[in-house]
């Protein structure tokens, strides 16, 4: 099972919506996942505990992660289409 983290500035509203979008996209792709939502600050400190991190494109450069962890940066945090395209481009599977 894929361990996914979504993060926004405060880890409240936007990350909760991102979590819902990620659940929908991963289900469409047939990928089982557990999804955690949090703030960017917490996300940076626990990033290596996850297989996939979904954040704003503006913050990708701030994440130093192990090779196994993939980081998806989104221009539109609420776009299912963009998220699906980027997950497929990475070849992510269970």
**For the segment 11-48, what is each residue's pLDDT rounded down to a tens digit?**
778 999 999 999 999 999 999 999 999 999 999 999 99
CB-CB contact of 52 with 69 (8 Å) = yes
The answer, yes or no, to whether residue 94 has pLDDT greater than 70, is no
What six digits make up the tokens of 54? 């979904």
**For the segment 61-91, what is each residue's pLDDT rounded down to a tens digit?**
888 888 899 999 999 999 999 999 999 999 8
CB-CB contact of 62 with 79 (8 Å) = no
Helix (H, G, I), strand (E, B) or coil at 82: helix
Record the pTM: 0.93
**Domain ranges across the chain:** 2-90
User: According to CATH, what is the number of the domain 2-90?
Assistant: 3.40.50.2300
Query: Between 12 and 6, whose confidence is greater?
Result: 6
* Residue 24: how many other CB atoms lie within 10 Å: 13
């Amino acid at each position: 099972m894929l361990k996914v983290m979504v993060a926004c500035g405060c880890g409240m509203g936007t990350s909760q919506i991102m979590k819902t979008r990620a659940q929908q996209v991963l289900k469409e792709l047939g990928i089982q996942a557990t999804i955690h939502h949090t703030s960017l600050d917490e996300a940076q400190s626990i990033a290596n505990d996850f297989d996939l991190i979904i954040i704003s494109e503006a913050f990708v450069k701030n994440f130093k992660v192990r090779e196994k962890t993939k980081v998806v940066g989104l221009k539109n945090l609420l776009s299912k289409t963009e998220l699906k395209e980027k997950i497929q481009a990475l070849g992510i599977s269970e």
